[in-house]
Structure 1
Amino acid sequence: MASDSQTQSPASAGVKANGQKGFVAQMISGHSAVGLAVGALMYIICVSGTLMVFHEEFQRWEQPNATEFAVGGAEPAAVARAADAALARVGESPHHFYVGLPTEGLPRLSVAYDDSHGWFADADGNLGEEVHHPWSEFLEGLHYYLHLPNTLGLTVVGILGAMLVGLVISGVLAHPKIFRDAFAMRLRGNKQLAEADLHNRLSVWGAPFHFVVAVTGAAIGLASVLSYIAADTYLEGDFEAFYEPVFGSDPAEDETPAPVANIAAALTNLKAEAEGVVPWYVMMHDPGTKGQGAIILAEHPGRLIYGENYYFDEAGTITGKLGHSDGPVGQQIVASAYTVHFGSFGGLPVKLIYGVLGLAISIVSATGVNIWLIKRREKGRPAPKLELAWAATIWGTPLALGCSFIAAVSGMVDDALITAIFWLVLLGLISLSLLATDRAAFSRGLRMGAGGLIVLGVALKWGAYWGEVTSPAAVWVNVAFLMTAAIFIWQGWPARRGRKMVSSAAE
């Protein structure tokens, strides 16, 4: 006879089995939630990356009254006067000092020092208002780092880029008919087919772009991790030596006072010695000391490299260059990664193409998760809470961006809080979604809210600078914002939804 310890009633066995099933269900739900979180971060990276293509235009919009120049329109003497005036304001030699020269994308003259505190300057080199781009800087921190500490943030974003590379490749290999059906679009009727067609068509049309952007993004993001490994393995722990072929290196420090290197002479000499290049940045290390280092970063038209570093001495004589323009092929490829990733070549037409393709990859990111959720539902494993959370992510991200937008343009919030506002609003909306009962109505409300916030932000900015706007780009950015707001409001308008339902019922 079996002992009591070996005997188990059918009821207790059923409880145990149900407990095991409940545990497994919880683990599956947790696994799905983690997958959704990764999808959400990738979606945010795609959306913020699309916006980052236009970061120069956003900077011009944020301060639309700054003096603008033709490319190369700042005279060397005026540049030097602006630099001298800024150094005089600082009062002591900063560790790093920067002069931004007018370019096609950002036709302004500015000076800044260590903590990015700086000023614009006019055509005579007189300093004007302080440089202040809180929303553009917020977007940069979001796309580069997800607002995490720099090295950790770059690593996370790099890993997401590597995952995107895998998704692009596996997506093409998993759909052998994807190119044959490149123009098959069934957007009406079956929801899964509509989502799948939109996902697949945008994927195949933008596949080369998606792959290149994902590869360069992964390389840029994971470079910090690779640098530690390479420095420890091959460079005896010299971290800076890893980046030297890309960014150059700072000279040995010598704080003995000396005249500031002659910027005006250096710009004049560069024009004579390197015909056709367009200087767009002057960087100085410990200016006004014997150990100072001075570099002119210049664009090479027709090349993908982000620029070439030209070194100059105290007298303004060009003493050499880093080698991005004619160095080893690997060095030139690395120097082109930033330009290719952000579309900062070819001017506005290329930016517009990148904007459209960036929007496409954002939609692909969103529809990929939509298809997975629909398949779950059709297989009898619906996840209504996950569906609501995903809807809150898709449409809550533009609304949270709208809140950060209002915080930045109102001037009533400290710049550091803009980041907190974005994440708190987004997480709050995802939490709120779990209480919603009508996913469609909830999504429409988020779209309406995002559109309204954009209109309010444009009104606040336009009102603050009424009659003072001197930048044509600022006007066009306003138009683009208002068109975007109109689309969001149109998509979320309840009356439009009601007419659609009546029409469907009539059919």
Structure 2
Amino acid sequence: MMWSRLPPRFVARMLSGHTVVGLAASVLLYIVCLSGTVMVFHEEFERWEQPGAPEVAPGFEDISPQTVQHVANNALARAKGKPHHFYIMLPIDDMPRMTATTDETTWHADTSGELVGEVHHPWTDFLTSLHYYLTLPAVLGLTLVGILGVLMTALVVSGVLSHPKLFRDAFTFRLRAGPRLRETDTHNRLAVWAMPFHLVVAFTGAALGIATIVAIVFSLTVFDGNVEDFFAPIFGEEVDGSQDAAPLADIPAALNNFRAQHPDLVPWYVSFHDPGTVGQSAEILAQHPGRLVYGDNYYFDANGELTGSTGLATGDIGQQVTASLYTLHFGSFGGLLVKLAYGVLGIMATVVVASGINIWLLKRRQRGRAAPMLERTWRATVWGTPLAMSVVMLLAVLGIGAINGHIAAFWVLLMVLITVAGFTERLSSALLRMATAGVLATTAVVHLFINIEHFHSPAAFGISAGLMLAAAWLARDVPRKSERRASRFEASENRA
């Protein structure tokens, strides 16, 4: 193995760089990894937040192309003014619901094409803001998260290069050793076992975020500040035409023509730019089963005749790679089993981040340079983040506050926990875990009682069961483990 023959000096430099990058990115990277793990199940959470919304069989088992036209007519009749963009989401396996979206509002639709209430999922909206943007303004947040993706990629590479015996010791677990060796084995083993996943998630996250910076720079220097022009060769472009009134493009004809010409593809969205005008443009976004691309756009004219596609599934390799980044990053391929695998791998990535800082803190302690305040604040970060997220989830279920209030609640609670931990040892990991378990269990119970009359979505049962299992895991054997870890830290300090 080439790693076993790396020069010691090179290995030492890699380890030093690995430590520096890890320390610099630790808190934000931990939050991004944890929120990303939960974000894998964002579609299930959306269904869980509104379990009574109509569930529609994927494809055209429960609906017809004429039903989709009826949805469009109803939504446009309710729209305030003339919408610039208009979307109808068709039911698919991962999201068996039909919705209609104008510039301001999204509605659920039933199998008859009637609108039956607005889409409302504040917890998922908060989760999206936290993972995509760290709740910052969009451009700044995407840029920061992209930089964290670059740093995570650097951590994976430097971690491999700084441990020549990493693969040879891939199954070494010294569970009865001291805290430092136990944390080191946990860190290294999980890093090795999930290394391909870590690289894929880090690279795709970096690409999705850094693309924003590149687009802004190029748009300012080449495209007169128009970011859309930068992405046009990949995702296509919108063409502004006459705003004179005209009938809406023929949706049933377009869907029938699409099914006849592409029977193996799955229509997902019917989208309009300037609907109901002479200059309207319309397209069908379709999934390509067995492909990593999220889909491809197929254009149709006012009569429903297909006129071409963007080429995301059949164009240049760059287009196809770009269209695959999102699905690779979130595991949006292969159904629930792939999502569950991504969930487990995401937890592993989160543990790797947490254990990396634990190792550094234990090394300081064993060298006689213990930093008790840092240890306590890091512990509060690790266990306070899921607690703060759980509190936001409970607030969302109770209908308390909106997105800005939830963002404020998350950061204020997390900062309070970290600050308090800096001045007292009473805020232990056991206490934070028990608190998180209590909030998760309470959320599941409250959600059940609020939605008891229409608790029929399979995703609602799955998410609620997952919350109860997570609560049970967090609360397991907490007092005994807390005492045992405290005694190990004491012994470690005495040996130092």
> Given the two structures, how large is their TM-score scaled by the length of structure 2?
0.91
Residue number in structure 1 paired with 2:142: 154
Residue number in structure 1 paired with 2:473: 487
Q: Secondary structure at the match of 1:283?
A: strand
**Among 196, 203, 206, the residue aligned to 1:215:** 203
In 2, the alpha carbon distance for the partners of 1:113 and 1:504 equals 57
RMSD (Å) for aligned C-alpha atoms: 2.1
Q: Which amino acid aligns with 1:483?
A: L
Alignment of 1:31-430 (within 5 A): 38-73=25-60, 74-115=63-104, 117-235=105-223, 237-430=225-418
In 2, the alpha carbon distance for the partners of 1:195 and 1:188 equals 11
Residue number in structure 1 paired with 2:440: 454
CA shift for structure 1 position 126: 0.8
Bigger Rg, which one: 1
Q: Which amino acid aligns with 1:395?
A: W
In 2, the alpha carbon distance for the partners of 1:340 and 1:65 equals 31
Maintained 8 Å contact 2:146/2:210: yes
Comparing 283-292 with 215-224, greater Cα deviation is found at 283-292
Maintained 8 Å contact 2:383/2:433: yes
In 1, the alpha carbon distance for the partners of 2:467 and 2:180 equals 31
Alignment of 1:425-440 (within 5 A): 425-438=413-426
Q: Secondary structure at the match of 2:323?
A: helix
Maintained 8 Å contact 1:36/1:390: no
CA shift for structure 1 position 288: 1.0
In 1, the alpha carbon distance for the partners of 2:367 and 2:403 equals 47
CA shift for structure 1 position 495: 6.0
Number of equivalences:
470
Q: Which amino acid aligns with 1:283?
A: S
Q: Secondary structure at the match of 1:120?
A: strand
Distance 1:457-1:337 versus aligned 2 partners, 3 A rule: same
Distance 1:325-1:496 versus aligned 2 partners, 3 A rule: closer
1:86-109 CA distances to partner (integer Å, 9 max, x unpaired)?
A: 110114221111111101110000
CA shift for structure 1 position 35: 7.0
Maintained 8 Å contact 2:92/2:268: yes
Maintained 8 Å contact 1:96/1:114: yes
CA shift for structure 1 position 43: 0.3
CA shift for structure 1 position 470: 2.1
Tell me if 1:463 matches 2:452: no
CA shift for structure 1 position 247: 2.6
Maintained 8 Å contact 1:83/1:99: yes
Q: Secondary structure at the match of 2:340?
A: helix
Maintained 8 Å contact 1:158/1:222: yes
In structure 1, runs of 5+ residues without a counterpart are: 1-31
Maintained 8 Å contact 2:235/2:312: no
In 1, the alpha carbon distance for the partners of 2:222 and 2:168 equals 48
Tell me if 1:472 matches 2:458: yes
Distance 1:215-1:187 versus aligned 2 partners, 3 A rule: same
In 1, the alpha carbon distance for the partners of 2:282 and 2:29 equals 39
CA shift for structure 1 position 245: 2.8
In 2, the alpha carbon distance for the partners of 1:500 and 1:43 equals 22
Distance 1:86-1:324 versus aligned 2 partners, 3 A rule: same
> Given the two structures, how large is their TM-score scaled by the length of structure 1?
0.89
Maintained 8 Å contact 2:72/2:88: yes
Q: Which amino acid aligns with 1:369?
A: I
In 2, the alpha carbon distance for the partners of 1:476 and 1:485 equals 14
CA shift for structure 1 position 248: 1.8
Identity of paired residues, percent? 49
Q: Secondary structure at the match of 1:434?
A: helix
1:347-372 CA distances to partner (integer Å, 9 max, x unpaired)?
A: 11111111110000000010011111
Distance 1:394-1:336 versus aligned 2 partners, 3 A rule: same
In 2, the alpha carbon distance for the partners of 1:251 and 1:343 equals 33
Residue number in structure 2 paired with 1:4: none
CA shift for structure 1 position 274: 1.5
Q: Secondary structure at the match of 1:295?
A: strand
Q: Secondary structure at the match of 2:268?
A: strand
In structure 2, runs of 5+ residues without a counterpart are: 1-18, 491-496
Maintained 8 Å contact 1:187/1:198: no
Comparing 483-492 with 57-66, greater Cα deviation is found at 483-492
Q: Which amino acid aligns with 1:476?
A: G
In 2, the alpha carbon distance for the partners of 1:314 and 1:64 equals 36
Q: Which amino acid aligns with 2:144?
A: V
Maintained 8 Å contact 1:33/1:386: no
In 1, the alpha carbon distance for the partners of 2:31 and 2:368 equals 30
Q: Secondary structure at the match of 2:453?
A: coil
Distance 1:352-1:95 versus aligned 2 partners, 3 A rule: same
In 1, the alpha carbon distance for the partners of 2:125 and 2:350 equals 21
In 1, the alpha carbon distance for the partners of 2:440 and 2:171 equals 34
In 2, the alpha carbon distance for the partners of 1:214 and 1:261 equals 41
Q: Which amino acid aligns with 2:307?
A: T
Q: Secondary structure at the match of 2:452?
A: coil
Maintained 8 Å contact 2:89/2:269: yes
Q: Secondary structure at the match of 2:423?
A: coil
Maintained 8 Å contact 2:22/2:356: no
CA shift for structure 1 position 343: 0.5
In 1, the alpha carbon distance for the partners of 2:223 and 2:276 equals 32
